[in-house]
Each structure stands twice: as structure tokens, then as C-alpha cells.
Amino acid sequence: MAPLVVACDWISIVGSLVLKLPQIAATLRSGSARGLSLQSLLLELTGFTINFCYNAAHGYPLLSYFEYALLIPQDVLLVLLTLRLSGQLTAGWVATLALATGDVTMLTCFCVNLALNVLVVLAVVRFRDGPPEEAARKKAK
């Protein structure tokens, strides 16, 4: 049964690696976001992110949910392309968003929290089996 699970994991990972690439390429070639739903992309991105975080937090084997790590950046790229090609994302967009509040302290806090949350997720994935010495002992048994 274990070889079947590993094969399914790898098929899922390889499939998700290229799942969105044709859509990204077609969008870039056409230079238009016509046919892409921003709300759908954001919903899909939210679902992938929640599933990734849930699986990481519960210490599931990385191979069983690694496809989300490949799908999330592809969806982020599609969201950015959709925003850019629909004229909603301009060079001054980020600056405008930051000046909307005018609160540098709040924005700094947000950026620090984002960085710390990313580090927590990475730490959960890295140390899901415990400290390296303990993980090595578990594998040796």
C-alpha cells in the first residue's frame, strides 16, 4: 500500500506543478484577463492556503500536501496577472494602498507579522518530526 500512496503523492505533485502553467501562458499571450474571474481565483487561493496551513500545522507528511506549495504561487501569479491586465494593478498600487491608512506603524506591524507567520509555517514544516536528533532516532527505528 505504501508504494501506491507514494506514487499518488508524486503524481499529484507533478500534476500540480504544471496545472496552471497553460492558463498563465495563454493569459500572457493574449494580453487580456478576459474569462478569468478574480473572485474565483481568490477563493481558490484561499482554499489552497487554508489546506496547506492545516496540513502543516497537524504535522502531516509533506508529500501528502506539497501540491499546495506549488499551486499557491501559480494562483498568486494569476491573481496578479488578472489585476494587472484589467488595469487594477498599477505601479503605484502598493504605495496607494500604504498611503490609504497613512499609519506607518500599522503597516510595519503588518509586514513584521506577515514575515513571522511565514517563518512559523516554515518551522512547522521543518520540525514536524521534532528536533533533528529525535527525527533521526525515529527514522532509525
Per-residue pLDDT tens listing for the chain (141 residues): 678 877 887 888 888 878 888 888 999 999 998 888 999 999 998 999 899 889 888 888 887 888 888 888 899 899 989 998 988 877 676 666 667 666 777 777 777 887 888 888 788 777 777 776 776 777 776
What's the first-to-final CA gap in the chain, in angstroms? 20
pTM to 2 decimal places: 0.64
What's the pLDDT score for residue 2? 79
CA angle (129 as vertex; 128, 132 as ends), nearest 5: 110
Q: In the numeric block, which cell numbers belong to residue 2?
A: 505504501
Virtual CA dihedral for 118, 124, 126, 132, nearest 10 degrees? 140
Would you say the C-alpha torsion 103, 106, 109, 110 has a positive or negative sign?
A: negative
